[in-house]
Structure 1
Amino acid sequence: MTAIHTLDVPGARLHYEVRGTGPLLLVVGAPMNAAAFAPLADALAEDHTVVTHDPRGISGSRLDDPEQDSTPELRADDIAAILDDLGAETADVFGSSGGAVTGLALVTRHPGRVRTLVAHEPPLLELLSDAAEQLAATDDIIETFHRDGIGAAWMKFMANAGFDLGGEDAPAPPPGEPSEQDLADSARFFAHELRGTVRHVPDIAALKAGAAKVVVGIGVTSGHLLTYRTSVALTELLGTQPVEFPGDHGGFMGQPKEFAEVLRTL
């Protein structure tokens, strides 16, 4: 049984879902919506109360101003508001990709609200030795979106991320034609979310000094990906070791039960 909720927050109305019983666990993406995490959430709901949501401006979470940029800080405030709406002081958080960046911002922006954060492959380009080159590549992807459209931008994005678009590890496209909502979500990602996410610089001192346990997750087959490099860079700054998860950047989609088992241990 999945309970559907809506929540008004400054500038937006959020869609979030709750399933299962047990300790509270938030599963956070950006730009991935609640539906994309459903298999993982179902696997975790056997022994957790699992909350998923559509980030502001994505799918069912509507903005007052559609041109508002999405930042990790705004998204972190939204997660804190969801906790408030649930009457929960604290929760564990799993964040994937841009959602991992949201989680890092949540830990430092709302101290005491997170017990354990598992940040799975956060794309923190500012931490790389070739940050200027990578940020320029991101700007080029965004320019490609505005000039040539969503398909061309996604191709350039995936190639820059490290996926071999002609190889066996190429992400499988979803079946059928993309829906109008899929296209709208992609457009929002490129126009209003991508730049703010990859340019986020985590407060390392606050992460190390805070009460939250911060774990960085890396896919066991992600070694060729840009997010592998950013994740290793983060662990080096935190003085920790990464934890390996099944699959690559989207391992929770291909192997949700196995992924959930690793997550439970953390």
Structure 2
Amino acid sequence: MRDTSLYYEVRGSGPVLLVVPGGAGHPMGFDAMTDRLTDRFTVVTYDPLGLAHGRLGEPVEEQRVRSWSDGARRVLTELLPDGESAYVLGTSSGAIAALDLLTSHPENLRHVIAHEPPVVEVLPDAARQRRMFTEVYETYRAAGLQAAGTRLLAGLADRTPDADQDSAEADHESKAAAPQPPSPTDELTTPMALFLTRVLRRFTAYAPDLDALKPLAPRLTLAAGVDSRGQLLHRTAALTAELSGADFVEFPGGHIGVAEHPAEFAERVAQVLLAA
């Protein structure tokens, strides 16, 4: 019997491929990519908060990485026949959950792709990056989604804006986009706002268990977009691969390559997994 507290969709045939989206787990923009994999995989798209399953607008508590990875484990327990194992693709915050799933429950996992996980704790400048994510959260609270998005994009590009220019831009965007802090209703009905307020800070504080990952390295590929070279999440992916001994590969596009280049992204996923 299906666990009604879990939200996921199943399509296709072949070995199970569990997809864990980023952001607040809302699988917006993933269909064009997953459609191209259903002839080779049973694609299971996990929706941790049920945002695509009628729960958008309901109260959401602060999210924890282990809750997402445990939910992913329970989905696989429901779907996998005895003795079978699954592939996993996680992107962004979903990639963090995928790393945690691999270290906490590796027994039923065939291979994991973690695409641009924001695991800044592996970096030598981790403290600076934590401050940046805190600034993104505080910008959202003070000035709204557009201003916070601008600050986040600058942070992911690994730019440190000039303080005066940053302040002026924030003031302009605050007046133009959100002169008042966003309302609770706005916050609960916008997946990006849920990500900024319920997911971002706790997930980016996650430190992957590198000692646990090392013996699992043959079953792990870290990935980053070719357009992300020189940026923060290309660094986190490449360094996590180096520290764990896992493979590192580049994918088409940037951080949202899954939506920018769905056909090419899908082919790269299939190439990595089937070779593994």
Letter of the 2:15 partner, please give it: P
Three-state SS of the structure 2 residue aligned to 1:95 is strand
Cα distance per residue 1:76-134 (max 9 Å; x no partner): 01101111222445210011111110100001111312110011111111111111111
User: Does the CA-based 8 Å contact 1:215-1:243 persist in structure 2?
Assistant: yes
After TM superposition, list the pairs within 5 Å mapping 1:158-237 onto structure 2.
Answer: 158-162=153-157, 183-210=189-216, 213-237=219-243
The change in CA–CA distance for 1:134 and 1:163 in structure 2 (over 3 A counts) is: closer
**Aligned 8 A contact 1:219 1:246 in 2:** yes
**Partner SS state of residue 100, structure 1:** helix
Shift of 1:163: 8.3
Asked if structure 1 preserves the Cα contact closer than 8 Å seen for 2:16 and 2:80, the reply is no
Which of 149, 154, 178 aligns to 1:154? It is: 149
Q: Which runs of 5+ in 2 are unaligned?
A: 160-185
Q: CA deviation at 1:49?
A: 0.5
Give the Å deviation of 1:44: 0.6
Equivalent in the alignment of 2:102: 107
Pick from 26, 29, 39: which aligns with 2:18?
Answer: 26
Instruction: State the secondary structure of the residue aligned to 1:69.
Output: coil
Q: Which residue of 2 aligns with 1:167?
A: none
Contact 2:10–2:44, Cα closer than 8 Å, also in 1: yes
C-alpha separation between the residues in 2 aligned to 1:58 and 1:237?
A: 34
Higher relative contact order (CA 8 A, sep 6+): 2
**Paired AA for residue 30 in structure 1:** G
Which AA in structure 2 matches 1:79?
A
Instruction: Provide the residue aligned with 2:32 in structure 1.
Output: 39
Is contact 2:80-2:86 (8 Å) kept? Answer: no
Matched with 2:131 is 136
1:90 aligns to 2:85 (yes or no): yes
Separation (CA, whole Å) in 2 of partners of 1:57 and 1:154: 23
State the number of aligned residues.
243
SS in 2 for 1:14: coil
Please tell me whether the aligned partners of residues 114 and 212 of structure 1 are also in contact (alpha carbons under 8 angstroms): no
In 1: Cα distance, 2:236 partner to 2:69 partner:
20
Alignment TM-score, normalising by the size of structure 1: 0.83
Distance 1:120 1:61 in 2: 27
SS at match of 1:94: strand
Gaps of 5+ in 1: 165-179
Match of residue 81 from structure 1: 74
Classify the secondary structure of the residue corresponding to 1:44: coil
Max Rg structure: 2
Moved over 4 A (4+): 180-183
In structure 2, the residue matched to 1:255 is: 261
C-alpha spacing 1:183/1:154, structure 2 compared with 1 (3 Å): farther
Q: CA deviation at 1:57?
A: 5.8
Structure with the larger helix share: 2
SS at match of 1:35: coil
TM normalised by structure 2 equals 0.80
**How far did residue 58 of structure 1 move?**
3.5
Once residues 107 and 160 of structure 1 are traced to their aligned partners in structure 2, the CA distance between those partners, rounded to angstroms, is 28
Q: Is the 8 A contact 2:60 2:188 kept in 1?
A: no
Greater strand proportion: 1
The one-letter amino acid paired with 1:41 is T
Give the secondary structure class of the aligned counterpart of 2:7: strand
Q: Aligned with 1:34: secondary structure?
A: coil
- Are 2:119 and 1:124 aligned? yes
The AA in structure 2 aligned to 1:72 is: V
